Structure 1
Amino acid sequence: MIKRILIALDPDEDTPIATQYAISLAERNDASVTGLAVVDTSNIYPTGIIGDPDQTHHARNLWEELTDNSRNVAGRLLEKFESSVEKSGVRYTAITQEGASYDRIIEGMKYHDLLVVGRDSHFFYNEPKQETKTLAQVVKNGVSPTLIVTHHFEEVHKVLIAFDGSRPASRSLKSFAHLSPFGKDLEIELLHISKTDNDDSESSSETILDFANDYLLEHDFKNVTQKFMAGDKISEAILKRRKEIGADLIVLGAHAVSAIKRLTFGSTTHELITKTDSPLFMTP
């Protein structure tokens, strides 16, 4: 059950779509929505030379100017958010906080059931195109599931759950079943991908999928099918299958970890976030 939804606001093209998804979910679940704008002062550094009064004064003025600019951006984001939710009649709260964006968002996740965010969000209002690690840090270290949206809105009727039996995948499966954000009347396909294509792999896959299928059935999801695929490129296989069945949502675990991977996501997760045309539901 979803009762509180958090939207992390950012001046990117995805944020209005994230707001639209959050409003739709709030209407379906009789939930409230919180719009959060973060003035990320951790990314604004004074550059003066210690001991040089002129340089220090200049740096201080620059820091204040950049911070004020970020506050102005935050204010405009909240105005747009409030305008959208007021039209819908959904209950809402709009807040601004200052500090490191990932810290403030993760703190907000503690008291919300779901975070909705755009995949292009960077949360550095002074340089909105600057790539940051915020999204990865939030998804991996947050305490609630995250719905990562793309550039367009679609009602969710068909769901692809990429399930490999791992802990992250299991947590995402359970969170999706418990929250039921899009209701129970969904077409769901459970997908298991193996790097080898033989009888043993398929048998192992069937066992994993059967357990996941039984779990979903117990949670009143009645229209569930299973699919086994083989391939080295897991992300490509997931995206290919999503396109084949026309899934409106992909559910998967937030596999993470190498700091040398782009955005600190694992390669499969990064590829999916970058290339998918549908939202991703992820739990750390």
Structure 2
Amino acid sequence: MIKRILVALDPDEDTPVATKYAIELAKNVDARLTGLAVVDTNRIAWDSWGGGIGTIYYTKQLYDTMSDTSKGVAEKLLQAFETAVSEAGINHTEVLREGVPYERIIEDMKYHDLLVVGRNAHFFYNHADEDTKTLARLIKKGNAPTLAITEEYHPVKRVLVAFDGSSAAARTLQWFIHLLPFGKNLELELVHVNSDQSEAGRDRSDLLLQQVENYLEVHGFQQINRTILGKGKPGGRLLEHQQSIGADLILLGAHSVSAIRRLTLGSTTHHLMTKSSAPLFLCH
């Protein structure tokens, strides 16, 4: 059951779309929305530091100017959120915090059932084009699932459930079932990518998806289809299938890896996060 939804606000173009999704979710489940804007004071301090005793005065002036500018941006984001949510008649709260964005968001996630955020979240109001890996950190360290939004809004009617049997995939599925963000009247496409297309390999995939289907049916889901995808990189195959069936949402578990360029997301999640036109419901 969802009663509180956290919406992380930043200047990217997908933030208004994230607000739209959050509003529709709140209507469906009778939830309260919290709009959160974070001023990255640590980054501002770093950018304004000039070094040397003689520059302390000017550093302080630059810090104050950058702080005021960033707070002004944050306040505008909160005002836009408040206007949209009020017009929709949704109960809501607006919060402005200072600090490291992903740390502040994770702290607030402790008291919410779901995070809604644009997948291009940067939170650097002075460097809006800089990739901060914020979303990957939120998915890895947050206690609640994340709904990562793209640039267009589409009502969620058909969901692609990417399931590989991992603990992350199972947790994501369980969160989705217990929270019911989009209800039960959905078309669910269960997909497993398996390069082993032998009879034994396909039997293993079919058994895995049959277990998922049985679990979903026990929880009242009825429109379920199973698909096994063959050779190819899982991210690419899943994206092709999502586009071919017109899925409005992708459900998958996010895996940790050591590769710095992907930070905390596995290659499949990273590919879908950056290439998918549909939003993603994720859990670590």
TM-score by length of 1: 0.97
Quick one: which amino acid aligns to residue 49 of structure 1? G
Instruction: Tell me the distance in 2 between the aligned counterparts of 1:131 and 1:155.
Output: 28
Instruction: Tell me the distance in 1 between the aligned counterparts of 2:120 and 2:165.
Output: 29
Quick one: which amino acid aligns to residue 154 of structure 1? H
Which structure 1 residue ranges, 4+ long, deviate > 6 Å from structure 2?
none
Quick one: which amino acid aligns to residue 17 of structure 1? V
* Equivalence for 2:5: 5
Instruction: Tell me the distance in 2 between the aligned counterparts of 1:195 and 1:60.
Output: 58
Is 1:199 the counterpart of 2:164? The answer is no
* Equivalence for 1:241: 241
Deviation of the 1:263 alpha carbon? 4.6
Instruction: Tell me the distance in 2 between the aligned counterparts of 1:254 and 1:7.
Output: 20
Deviation of the 1:196 alpha carbon? 2.1
* Equivalence for 2:51: 49
* Equivalence for 1:24: 24
Instruction: Tell me the distance in 2 between the aligned counterparts of 1:189 and 1:221.
Output: 12
Deviation of the 1:258 alpha carbon? 2.0
Quick one: which amino acid aligns to residue 214 of structure 2? D
Instruction: Tell me the distance in 1 between the aligned counterparts of 2:95 and 2:220.
Output: 36
Q: How does 1:119-198 map to 2 (within 5 A)?
A: 119-198=119-198
Deviation of the 1:264 alpha carbon? 3.9
* Equivalence for 1:97: 97
Q: How does 1:56-71 map to 2 (within 5 A)?
A: 56-71=56-71
Confirm or deny: 8 A CA contact 1:132 1:263 kept in the other structure. Answer: no
Confirm or deny: 8 A CA contact 1:261 1:267 kept in the other structure. Answer: no
Q: Deviations over 1:31-69 (max 9, x none)?
A: 01000000011212142324x2x2111112111211111
Instruction: Tell me the distance in 2 between the aligned counterparts of 1:258 and 1:234.
Output: 19
Q: CA RMSD in A?
A: 1.1
Q: Match of 1:148, SS?
A: strand
Is 1:275 the counterpart of 2:261? The answer is no
Instruction: Tell me the distance in 2 between the aligned counterparts of 1:21 and 1:39.
Output: 24
Q: Match of 1:115, SS?
A: strand
Q: Match of 2:228, SS?
A: strand
Aligned residues with identical type, % of pairs: 49
Instruction: Tell me the distance in 1 between the aligned counterparts of 2:187 and 2:171.
Output: 20
Structure 2, unmatched stretches of 5+, are none
Instruction: Tell me the distance in 2 between the aligned counterparts of 1:250 and 1:256.
Output: 18
Instruction: Tell me the distance in 2 between the aligned counterparts of 1:184 and 1:123.
Output: 34
Quick one: which amino acid aligns to residue 218 of structure 2? E
Structure 1, unmatched stretches of 5+, are none
* Equivalence for 1:36: 36
Q: How does 1:82-93 map to 2 (within 5 A)?
A: 82-93=82-93
Q: Deviations over 1:75-131 (max 9, x none)?
A: 000010001001000000001000000011001111111100111111111111111
